[in-house]
Amino acid sequence: MTETHSSSAARPAASVSRWRRAAPAEVPAWLRGVYAGLCLYLFLAALNIMGAGLGTFGEESDFLIRAFAYGENPFIALLGAVLVTAIVQSSSFTSALIVTLVATGEMTLGTAVFAIMGANIGTSVTALIVALANLRIRRTFRRSFTAALLHDFFNILTVLVLFPLEWLTAAVAESGRGVITQAAAWLANLLGLPEVARPDSPVQVLTSPVVSLFEGGGALVAPTATAQGLIVAAGGLVLMLVALVLMVRNLRGALLRHMDSLFRSYFFRTDPRAYGIGAISTLMVQSSTITTSLMVPLAGAGVVPMRRVMPFMMGSNLGTTATSVLAATANPVSAALTVAFVHVLFNLIGTAIWYPLRVIPVRLASWYGRLAGRSLLYAFGFLLLIFLVLPVTGLIVTELFIIHG
């Protein structure tokens, strides 16, 4: 009897032992560091590949000139960036693309500042989609959707203030630049960067082997210089997206595995702490999509007080601007860094306006969150209206009645 009991007790112990042996080993920190460095190198190389392809394509074809002539309209730049960012669900991707286009001369600063505003709105779609995962529990869904709406309303309200401010000041300024662009240009000029990219810049030199590889591949498969430039630019675009995805996955695995308990117990005791954690955690994982999506279920479960969600979202928006600054280092020219600083200033000014007036976005989010909690039509209606219907309709109306009117 004793022998039977001891053997049955040994079986669970043996099972536990086998499970422990089968558990995957933690990836060493040094290996994650090497992997992160490789992802960073590929990201910078992708930006230069894309710039090289766009440069060739732009020289051989007037397509880009026509395309960005339309983009000179601020509504086109804003709405187009909302749509693109909502589709790829990454403002890091869109802002890096905008910086590269400015650095290669294919997009003007006047266009880029409005495109950056649109990217800020577009990136907030992901948190809403995450909130929809709580549909079965109405109270949790209402709280989750309200938390996600705080991200949306902060960006939308900031655009409603800064868009006309930038547009009107650009119209009356002799330089044709709005007040935000002028401030960003002043900051960029302090660093004394050249107006055009230098071929001997460190990043250009380090990434030149990969750029040459892509250019050689484009020359092999493309019959004309225009097609070659298009293929090289498309290859750079794909590589940039892959590098960003790999970078985020690596950093998420390294940093966010143990963050849940810290989020619950420490990070949200005060507004400044919530803001700082939002900025730092987003800076570390290079994706506001990740950090805001992590916040939504925690707010939905009641773990994080709703009053702390707003400063966290503001800080997260600031943290994601690091990608723009990083992208500017791949093409170290004053125009590229100016766009990156526009992105930073947009979020700093937005925080300066709406943190003291946070009762406005909080009440708007709470009001619409209650509507969505009562009827899912409001939830899906907001999602489709802001991120699909309005951008597409606005682009069509602007194209038909303003540009050709």
Domain assignment present for residue 13? The answer is no
pLDDT at position 50 is 73
* Alpha-carbon 56 to chain mean position: 27
pLDDT at position 194 is 63
Domain assignment present for residue 12? The answer is no
pLDDT at position 195 is 56
Q: For residue 141, what are its two tokens?
A: 């869904």
Is the four-CA dihedral 118, 124, 125, 126 of positive or negative sign?
A: positive
pLDDT at position 117 is 93
Number of domains comprising the chain: 1
Q: What is the pLDDT of residues 86-142, one digit of tens each?
A: 877 677 778 888 888 888 777 888 888 999 999 999 888 888 888 887 777 888 889
User: How far apart are the C-alpha atoms of 289 and 145, rounded to whole Å?
Assistant: 15
Q: What is the pLDDT of residues 350-388, one digit of tens each?
A: 999 999 999 999 999 999 999 998 988 999 999 999 998
Domain assignment present for residue 346? The answer is yes
Domain assignment present for residue 318? The answer is yes
Q: What is the mean pLDDT of the chain?
A: 79
Backbone angles phi, psi at 351, to 5 degrees: -65, -45
CA distances in angstroms from 239 to 49, 127, 135, 244, listed in the order given:
9, 25, 36, 9
CA distances in angstroms from 232 to 47, 55, 211, 235, 236, listed in the order given:
11, 10, 9, 5, 6
pLDDT at position 107 is 82
How many other C-beta atoms can be found within 10 angstroms of the C-beta atom of residue 247? 22
Domain assignment present for residue 368? The answer is yes
pLDDT at position 241 is 73
- Using 70 as the pLDDT threshold, list the residues of the chain that sit under it: 1-27, 29-30, 51, 54-72, 89, 193-203, 244, 247-248, 250-266, 286, 331, 399, 401-405
User: What residues make up the domain containing 390?
Assistant: 36-254+270-403
**One-letter amino acid for residue 300 of the chain:** G
Reported pTM:
0.75
pLDDT at position 71 is 55
Domain assignment present for residue 227? The answer is yes
Secondary structure (H, E, C), 6-63: HHHHHHHHHHHHHHHHHCCCCCCHHHHHHHHHHHHHHHHHHHHHHHHHHHHHHHHCCH
pLDDT at position 355 is 95
Domain assignment present for residue 23? The answer is no
